[in-house]
A and B are shown apart, each in its own frame.
Chain A
């Protein structure tokens, strides 16, 4: 109790400049500690928010992927041969025959090349990489710098 009284008395008798310095030091300490924990909590909070957002986006991507596949199926049904034939028939089209096709010469037009054919020869054995791509630094030092060959 005496110590408290002494401290209290001492504080009362301190000059204002010194009192303010002590108070400022104490506040600065609290602010520094506060700032440290604030940053810690702030970053954790940001990580949590972004993590949740990423999880939500991931779920959304999966849902979208599923929806795309389902919609793709529905679109394929609308563009299926069976459906298109019905539409063509409704519009008054009839199937084409070879007799309906006429070829007209177009100047400077060349017949399209056939699709690329694979080679009929045996598969080509890949050539080994040149030594300069496979040599190690130690080997290079040994062969080219320390013990270079007399002739090249």
Chain B
């Protein structure tokens, strides 16, 4: 201390009053700086800072509308979208019981509800102390605006002079509901989403529900302002179908016209690509009405099906002769010129089989059997030319009695009597007469889509395709193409080439109403009598079908027509074949398929120029 004091004395400068002022000001500034620093330290590492850090792990859930995935046709036209709707709740804690009757009246008038029912419901909920009641899940934008307008208009002052707006207790939550810009177009393919439900039923909506699923999602929101939870992964996919809206519209119009003209119970038309199994149009008339849920339920109840094209098995009749002939040709049991002497009756195990006109057609080749659609001939082929095991092995390979795997909800497998079929006591039900009947398309139940797959195999060289409606899905900005696995080679290419030639030759003989000027077509009619309980087969009630493709030499489109119980004529050649011809015309126009002569001329040109 002594040394220090000595040092101080070296150049001691007296502290003046001015210096003191500087020291005081410096001290104050220093103190202020220290306070600021201390405050910053507290903010950074004190209890407030810790609280903010802790909030990093804390979050709350908030409802957020998640629109259901969109469905497009193959050209990107929207078939099923979403529209803006609101979920409407009422906070009963904010409502006086005396206001409820008028409130029910106001709401019911806008939402088209029953005033009495609504009033009762609200009064009961209020008396039970229920805090909130959901009034509707599909309030439209205009209804919301109307209710908000009414809320502003209905104002009164309570006993304390406070302004009361009873309808301000209404709470609108934004959500979405299905929108069908094309109306009921392809409704049987699309499926439906019931009100108040998030799950889809029938068609694409059911099959791809997991991809399309939307609804109201409880989304995580962090209390920490710098934490953002990702939401990208939960976005639903958009589906692009193989359906073409123009072809679909044409098929629906033709189906509706056919029902009207023939007074049929219903009609089904399918247009498909035989090489890929892509369904380009799948029309039913009547079709499910998507706009009105009550009518839709009535439709499903009436037909016991949503999509008649995949859910209604029926006896196809003579169109099935193409399958029998294909099997016989494939195993080498018959050739196109194999002869059958038709006496007009063929007897198997005591059962008598007649031709459609009960006539005898004499000696006929296999082409003639198809051209005149002889039941006796095809029963003979099925029963005598094809071994039992082989016949059923082929039916199994074609997928009859099994699902085709089409990507639509609710497909039915159909079925047939086989040698292994037993009744509940284990007794065999099958007899050789069943095999003979199945040869010409009776005693077997198939769905139109199964027949489309089988006919496609004949058209494409023997490969059994999986019918499908999804072209690709789009998710997170990426597209995933859908190529379903095929179901194998069921016929040899040479068999199908022979059969294609036979069907092309036999069609003009069988029915001229299926022909289209300028275009070569191939196919077969089918008229199947309908079995009635305790009566047997009816001669008046039939299933009239036509299965065919065009161009005949280079199949690009398989078209299947089924009319159930036509009244004007029971014959497929009269009622179903013209529908096929109309569909060929409309498909050629929409798909820009040139007539055969033009096509062949240009094919020749491209061969000459080497551009093929």
Contact = CB atoms under 8 A, between A and B. Distances in A.
Given A10-B4, A51-B227, A58-B228, A69 B67 contact: yes
A82 B275 contact: no
A33 B224 contact: no
Contacts of B43: 37, 41, 44
Contact of A110 (B13, B81, B273, B606): B606
Contacts of B83: 70, 73
Contact of A81 (B36, B249, B485): B249
A54 B37 contact: no
Nearest to A111: B602
B15 A81 contact: no
Interface string B173-192: 01010010111010000000
Contact of A47 (B33, B179, B226, B605): B226
A54 B230 CA distance: 11
Given A40-B44, A111-B603, A58 B231 contact: yes
Contacts of A96: 589
A34 B588 CA distance: 82
Interface stretch (A101-109, A129-137, A140-148): A101-109
Interface string A72-86: 110011011110000
Contacts of A48: 225-226
Contact of A73 (B82, B485, B556): B82
A30 interface: yes
A135 B321 CA distance: 58
A30 B225 contact: no
A94 to B, nearest CB: 13
Contacts of B556: 114
Interface stretch (B158-166, B303-311, B335-343, B593-601): B593-601
A72 B34 contact: no
B137 interface: no
B68 to A, nearest CB: 9
B226 A76 contact: no
Interface size of B as a range:
35 or more
A16 B249 CA distance: 100
B585 A51 contact: no
B91 interface: no
B385 to A, nearest CB: 27
Interface string B1-22: 1001100111111010000000
A87 interface: no
B78 interface: yes
A52 B410 CA distance: 48
A150 interface: no
A138 interface: no
B388 interface: no
B225 A51 contact: yes
A122 B488 CA distance: 7
Contacts of A6: 1
B245 interface: yes
A70 B44 contact: no
Contacts of B263: none
A15 B361 CA distance: 139
A40 B112 CA distance: 60
Interface residues of A, number: 57
B117 to A, nearest CB: 31
Contact of B221 (A40, A47, A55): A55
A105 B231 CA distance: 56
Interface string A35-51: 00110110010011011
A96 B246 CA distance: 13
B36 A14 contact: no
A88 interface: no
A76 B224 contact: no
A110 B65 contact: no
Q: Is chain A's binding surface mostly helix, strand, loop or mixed? A: helix
A13 B224 contact: no
A57 B221 CA distance: 13
A77 B81 CA distance: 10
A38 B40 contact: yes
B276 A69 contact: no
A103 B588 CA distance: 13
A5 interface: no
Interface string A57-75: 0100010011001101100
A48 to B, nearest CB: 4
Contact of A111 (B5, B174, B228, B605): B605
B483 A118 contact: yes
A51 B224 contact: yes
A125 interface: no
A1 B128 CA distance: 75
B489 interface: yes
A41 to B, nearest CB: 5
B407 interface: no
Interface string B33-56: 110110011011000010010000
Given A97-B589, A110-B606, 13 more contacts: A15-B8, A44-B43, A48-B225, A48-B226, A62-B231, A73-B82, A76-B181, A80-B181, A81-B246, A82-B183, A98-B585, A105-B601, A111-B599
Interface of B: 1, 4-5, 8-13, 15, 26, 30, 33-34, 36-37, 40-41, 43-44, 49, 52, 64-65, 67, 70, 77-78, 81-84, 174, 176, 179, 181-183, 185, 221, 224-228, 231, 245-246, 249, 273, 275-276, 460-463, 483, 485-486, 488-489, 518, 556, 585, 588-589, 594-595, 598-599, 601-603, 605-606, 609, 611-612
25 contacts: A13-B5, A15-B13, A33-B41, A37-B37, A37-B40, A41-B40, A51-B224, A55-B225, A65-B67, A66-B65, A69-B81, A69-B82, A69-B176, A73-B82, A81-B182, A81-B185, A97-B585, A103-B594, A105-B601, A110-B606, A111-B603, A113-B612, A115-B273, A118-B275, A120-B275
Interface of A: 6, 10, 12-16, 23, 26-27, 30, 33-34, 37-38, 40-41, 44, 47-48, 50-52, 54-55, 58, 62, 65-66, 69-70, 72-73, 76-77, 79-82, 96-98, 101, 103, 105, 108-111, 113-115, 117-118, 120, 122-123
